[in-house]
């Protein structure tokens, strides 16, 4: 016994070292049931922690219990192996659970430092659930199938006494996840479904029958046939019309206002002796007491404040993990959990800065906790960066352990490109099959195709969350959707159809609609489209609280693309930080359109355009922001957007010469999904001689409402646009922007178009 509480045998002592009473040991123990005693799984002799400063021979990483998800590869009644390498004894199994080869389990394991072997304990089924009123569809010898989907073996099946299942029997069962040939579930126990029919009806007396009395009685009904007679007792209640007058007018509601006699406390008449266990006082502690020296010198940990082992908050049903969710976000999570739209996909419409990813994280955690027995979640995104972001936020939530989460990567992805915090979750190559059985699996849409290669059945995942669905092509979206059950599965598409869609390089494919995402196609369907009263709440939830931009920057995109429903909820110290910038024509309005009549050029045989005048003006604004005397804006908080690659190159050259190479310069596509304190937009095109009505020929990439929407919704506190107003006014979106700036006195530079002056007057 250890500390008179933990039982062990010589088999648990590492190295077979003989122990004697009084030896100090380190051990790992488990409790046998909720009210049982403690049994050691591993015991190792240790030196006196008081004498050697608290050092032990077991390293911290070896002592640590680690989570494990795997498949039972063998079991002989006394013990078995998980993944062919980790041994588990029979006493470490879940109470009442007898594993079978092929069962998927989760456990905790430790490493034996002497033999370098692993041993598991607390072995439980990975997933299990109950099915009621299903039929036995086939039996072959000692095994069979229920409901064409659940395998059972009579050798391991728990059955009621004197019952043996047959084909066609209606049964109730409890099943565990297990790989058994073509089936993914194995019946653990089974019982026949009992059907009891109680006929209750009221009829008038007929055929001259007269009741002998009122009340309930049992009568024998005899059915005579030619060669036999069947008798059944019927329960009959005879009522009188006068009883209806005496029926209670108000239903009875019992109360608990009854006196209860208190039990007298038990008094012990004699004093029982109390003994402390014999404990040899270490020499260091004895010398400390005798010399009256400071005990903290001997054991410094006694001076720690609030010394407590690390712990995690316990989730509670009905509560949100993130208490800062706004009402639309909470409504979206509730709709996802209810699954009222199944089998149709549910759409989370998330305009820029509305917390779409935060809502997805909350929904994933709620599904994982509330349906902890049966659910398995697949999370997909079009890009690795978006998938890594989802995985990092799930890790930082603190509600998941390592065995619950897996990040599936393509075999070609370099390990150096994987964030350090995610490498413990990363799986690739031969680990894909084992990773697919984790409770939450994160991958890109294309990498989800590997689940088909390993033969996962349809319905393996119960939930699919497709983030940034507006940036995925329709075939990309269908890859993970094809693994989810079309009958019981829940599919959630999150994104914004008003922003840039998937990048398609083929002009032919783009002409035939390949650039239209599944999310955009669904939102154009009458079932998902907006009505006069809004969207169907069972199918679509629109997030409207923007936590990114100043209200002056939010008004125009909200009006043009989001029916004016976006509300500014950004932190005031951030969104108001540049409202008093000295170069603003109107203080308190952090938006500026600088009209420049430059010249668009090309260089060599490069078809890309650039505008030197606009490039210089962008450089000047960058210097005025990043090099101002008081409270300069950090270069990493400034982003420069230009629609042409050549213009980006010229701007980078100018910024490098003034020491501002940290400013990010790129196209609109590179900025999608990102946010900056300041955004400077250079529109480049400036050829007023072209009189074509084709916006594509005069404005190029700018003649795209989605690209415009992405560009002006990136900034938090300040947006600067540099361009030729006489060219840009031909585009409806830029015309609305020019009118908005001109009306709010946020325009400066060259003479504005005459139509703007008419608007102002």
Query: Which is more confidently placed, 434 or 218?
Result: 434
- What does the H/E/C string look like for 538-572? CCEEECCEECCCCHHHHHHHHHHHCCCCCEECCCH
Residue 578 above 80 pLDDT?
A: yes
- 213 CA to centre of own chain: 66
Instruction: For residue 301, say if its preceding peptide bond is cis, omega within 30 degrees of 0.
Output: no
- The confidence score (pLDDT) of residue 546 equals 94
Give start and end residues of each alpha helix (H) in 371-424: 384-396
- Quick count: other Cβ atoms within 10 Å of Cβ 516? 18
Residue 458 above 80 pLDDT?
A: yes
Confidence of residue 235 (pLDDT cuts 50, 70, 90): confident
- The confidence score (pLDDT) of residue 682 equals 94
Average pLDDT over residues 608-620: 93
pLDDT per residue over 502-556, tens digit each?
988 888 998 898 999 999 999 999 999 988 888 999 999 999 999 999 999 999 9
Q: Which of 425-429, 674-678, 706-710, 744-748 has the lowest mean pLDDT?
A: 425-429
- d(CA 373, CA 185) in angstroms, rounded, equals 13
Q: Tell me the C-alpha to C-alpha distance, in Å, between residue 602 and each of 28, 652, 667.
A: 73, 17, 17
Residue 475 above 90 pLDDT?
A: yes
How crowded is the C-beta side of 632, counted as CA atoms within 13 Å?
13
- CA-angle at 53, arms to 48 and 59, nearest 5°: 80
CA dihedral sign of residues 642, 646, 647, 653: positive
- The confidence score (pLDDT) of residue 63 equals 54
Q: Which of 9-23, 54-68, 277-291, 441-455 has the lowest mean pLDDT?
A: 54-68
- The confidence score (pLDDT) of residue 197 equals 45
Mean of per-residue pLDDT scores for the chain? 83
Burial class (CB in 10 A: 0-12, 13-18, 19+), 705: middle
Residue 59 above 60 pLDDT?
A: no
Residue 240 above 80 pLDDT?
A: no
Average pLDDT over residues 389-402: 88
- d(CA 328, CA 544) in angstroms, rounded, equals 7
Confidence of residue 95 (pLDDT cuts 50, 70, 90): confident
pTM for the full model? 0.72
Average pLDDT over residues 725-748: 92
Confidence of residue 200 (pLDDT cuts 50, 70, 90): very low
Helix (H) or strand (E) holding 450: helix 450-453
- The confidence score (pLDDT) of residue 400 equals 84
Average pLDDT over residues 251-280: 62
- The confidence score (pLDDT) of residue 267 equals 59
Confidence of residue 34 (pLDDT cuts 50, 70, 90): low
- The confidence score (pLDDT) of residue 256 equals 56
Helix (H) or strand (E) holding 490: strand 490-495
Nearest to 687 by CA among 736, 722, 724: 724
Percent of the chain exceeding pLDDT 70 equals 82
Residue 732 above 50 pLDDT?
A: yes
- The confidence score (pLDDT) of residue 270 equals 61
Question: Which residue has 């109360």 as its token pair?
Answer: 255
Confidence of residue 611 (pLDDT cuts 50, 70, 90): very high
The DSSP bridge pattern shows strands 715-723 and 676-682 to be: parallel
Query: Which is more confidently placed, 692 or 730?
Result: 730
Query: Which is more confidently placed, 341 or 252?
Result: 341
Confidence of residue 66 (pLDDT cuts 50, 70, 90): confident
Identify the three-state secondary structure at position 361.
helix
DSSP state of 461: B
- The confidence score (pLDDT) of residue 679 equals 96
Average pLDDT over residues 448-452: 90
- d(CA 59, CA 110) in angstroms, rounded, equals 12
- The answer to whether residues 465 and 438 touch, using CB atoms and an 8 Å cutoff, is no
Nearest to 194 by CA among 169, 168, 157, 162: 169
Instruction: For residue 61, say if its preceding peptide bond is cis, omega within 30 degrees of 0.
Output: no
Average pLDDT over residues 468-473: 92
Average pLDDT over residues 424-442: 85
- The confidence score (pLDDT) of residue 50 equals 42
- The answer to whether residues 466 and 499 touch, using CB atoms and an 8 Å cutoff, is no
- CA-angle at 128, arms to 467 and 494, nearest 5°: 10
- What does the H/E/C string look like for 48-73? CCCCCCCCCCCCHHHHCCEEEEEEEE
Identify the three-state secondary structure at position 615.
helix
Helix (H) or strand (E) holding 270: none
- The confidence score (pLDDT) of residue 253 equals 64
Residue 48 above 50 pLDDT?
A: no
Residue 49 above 50 pLDDT?
A: no
Residue 273 above 70 pLDDT?
A: no
Query: Which is more confidently placed, 277 or 622?
Result: 622
Q: Which of 102-111, 257-266, 347-356, 447-456 has the lowest mean pLDDT?
A: 257-266
pLDDT per residue over 328-379, tens digit each?
999 999 999 988 888 899 999 999 999 999 999 999 999 988 876 788 999 9
- The confidence score (pLDDT) of residue 341 equals 87
pLDDT per residue over 147-189, tens digit each?
988 999 998 888 888 888 999 899 999 899 999 888 889 998 9
- Quick count: other Cβ atoms within 10 Å of Cβ 397? 15
pLDDT per residue over 634-676, tens digit each?
999 999 999 999 999 999 999 999 999 999 999 998 898 899 9
Average pLDDT over residues 61-72: 76
- d(CA 276, CA 252) in angstroms, rounded, equals 58
DSSP state of 654: H
- The answer to whether residues 388 and 453 touch, using CB atoms and an 8 Å cutoff, is no
Give the highest mean pLDDT range of 243-252, 280-289, 721-730. 721-730
Domains annotated on the chain, with CATH: 1-51 (no CATH), 59-123 (2.40.50.140), 128-192 (2.40.50), 327-543 (3.40.50.300), 551-760 (3.40.50.300)
- The answer to whether residues 653 and 710 touch, using CB atoms and an 8 Å cutoff, is no
- d(CA 122, CA 278) in angstroms, rounded, equals 33
DSSP state of 727: H
Average pLDDT over residues 384-392: 92
- The confidence score (pLDDT) of residue 595 equals 93
b/e per residue 234-267 (b: at least 16 CB within 10 A) = eeeeeeeeeeeeeeeeeeeeeeeeeeeeeeeeee
- The confidence score (pLDDT) of residue 630 equals 76
């Amino acid at each position: 016994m250890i500390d008179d509480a933990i039982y062990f045998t010589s088999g648990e002592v590492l190295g077979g070292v003989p122990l004697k009473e009084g030896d100090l040991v380190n051990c790992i123990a488990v409790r046998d049931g909720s009210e049982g005693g403690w049994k050691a799984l591993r015991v190792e002799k240790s030196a006196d922690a008081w004498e050697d400063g608290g050092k032990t021979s077991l390293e911290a990483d070896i002592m640590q219990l680690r989570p494990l998800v795997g498949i039972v590869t063998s079991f002989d009644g006394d013990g078995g192996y998980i993944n062919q390498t980790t041994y588990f004894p029979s006493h470490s199994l879940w109470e009442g659970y007898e594993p079978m080869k092929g069962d998927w389990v989760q456990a905790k394991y430790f490493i034996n430092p002497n033999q370098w072997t692993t041993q598991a304990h607390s072995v439980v089924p990975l997933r299990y659930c109950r099915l009621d009123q299903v039929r036995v569809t086939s039996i072959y010898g000692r095994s069979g199938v229920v409901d064409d989907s659940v395998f059972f073996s009579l050798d391991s099946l728990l059955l009621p006494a004197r019952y043996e299942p047959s084909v066609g029997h209606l049964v109730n069962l409890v099943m565990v996840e297990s790989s058994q040939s073509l089936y993914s579930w194995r019946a653990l126990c089974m019982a026949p479904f009992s059907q009891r029919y109680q006929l209750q009806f009221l009829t008038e007396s007929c055929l001259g029958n007269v009741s002998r009395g009122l009340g309930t009685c049992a009568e024998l009904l005899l059915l005579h046939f030619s060669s036999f007679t069947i008798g059944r007792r019927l329960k009959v209640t005879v009522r009188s019309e006068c009883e209806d007058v005496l029926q209670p007018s108000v239903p009875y509601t019992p109360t608990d206002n009854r006196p209860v006699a208190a039990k007298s406390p038990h008094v012990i008449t004699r004093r029982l002796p109390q003994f402390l266990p014999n404990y040899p006082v270490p020499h260091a502690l004895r010398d400390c007491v005798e010399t009256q020296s400071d005990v903290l010198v001997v054991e410094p940990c006694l001076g720690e404040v609030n010394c407590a082992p690390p712990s995690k908050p316990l989730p509670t049903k009905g509560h949100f993990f993130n208490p800062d969710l706004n009402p639309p976000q909470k409504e979206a999570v509730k709709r996802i959990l209810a699954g009222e739209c199944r089998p149709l996909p549910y759409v989370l419409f998330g305009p820029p800065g509305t917390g779409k990813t935060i809502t997805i994280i909350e929904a994933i955690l709620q599904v994982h906790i509330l349906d902890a027995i049966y659910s398995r979640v697949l999370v997909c995104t079009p890009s690795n960066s978006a998938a890594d972001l989802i995985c990092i936020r799930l890790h930082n939530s603190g509600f998941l352990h390592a065995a619950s989460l897996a990040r599936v990567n393509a075999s070609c992805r370099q390990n150096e490109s994987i964030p350090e915090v995610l490498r413990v979750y990363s799986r690739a190559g031969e680990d894909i099959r084992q990773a697919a059985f984790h409770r939450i699996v994160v991958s890109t849409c294309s990498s989800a195709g590997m689940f088909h290669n390993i033969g996962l059945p349809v319905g393996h995942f119960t939930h699919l969350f497709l983030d940034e669905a507006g940036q995925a092509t329709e075939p990309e979206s269908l890859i993970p959707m094809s693994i989810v059950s079309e009958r019981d599965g829940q599919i959630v598409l999150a994104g914004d159809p008003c922003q840039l869609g998937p990048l398609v390089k083929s002009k032919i494919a783009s002409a035939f609609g390949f650039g239209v995402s599944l999310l955009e196609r669904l939102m154009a369907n009458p079932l998902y489209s907006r009505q006069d009263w809004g969207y169907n709440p069972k199918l679509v939830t629109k997030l409207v609280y923007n936590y990114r931009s100043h209200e002056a920057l939010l008004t125009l995109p909200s009006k043009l693309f989001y029916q004016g429903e976006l509300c500014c909820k950004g932190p005031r110290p951030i969104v108001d930080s540049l409202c008093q910038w000295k170069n603003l024509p109107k203080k308190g309005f952090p938006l500026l359109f600088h009209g420049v009549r430059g010249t668009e050029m090309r260089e060599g045989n490069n078809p890309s355009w650039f505008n030197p005048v606009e490039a210089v003006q962008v450089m000047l604004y960058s210097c005025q922001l990043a090099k101002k005397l008081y409270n300069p804006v950090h270069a990493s908080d400034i982003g420069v957007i230009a629609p042409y690659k050549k213009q980006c190159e010229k701007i980078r050259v100018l910024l490098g010469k003034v020491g501002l190479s940290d400013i990010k310069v790129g196209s609109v596509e590179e900025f999608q999904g990102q946010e900056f304190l300041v955004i400077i937009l250079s529109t480049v095109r400036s050829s007023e001689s072209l009189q074509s009505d084709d916006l594509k020929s005069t404005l190029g990439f700018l003649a795209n409402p989605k690209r415009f929407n992405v560009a002006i919704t990136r900034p938090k506190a300040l947006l600067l646009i540099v361009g030729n107003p006489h060219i840009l006014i031909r585009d409806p979106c830029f015309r609305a922007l020019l009118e908005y700036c001109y009306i709010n006195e946020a325009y400066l530079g060259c003479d504005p178009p005459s139509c703007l002056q008419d608007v102002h007057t």
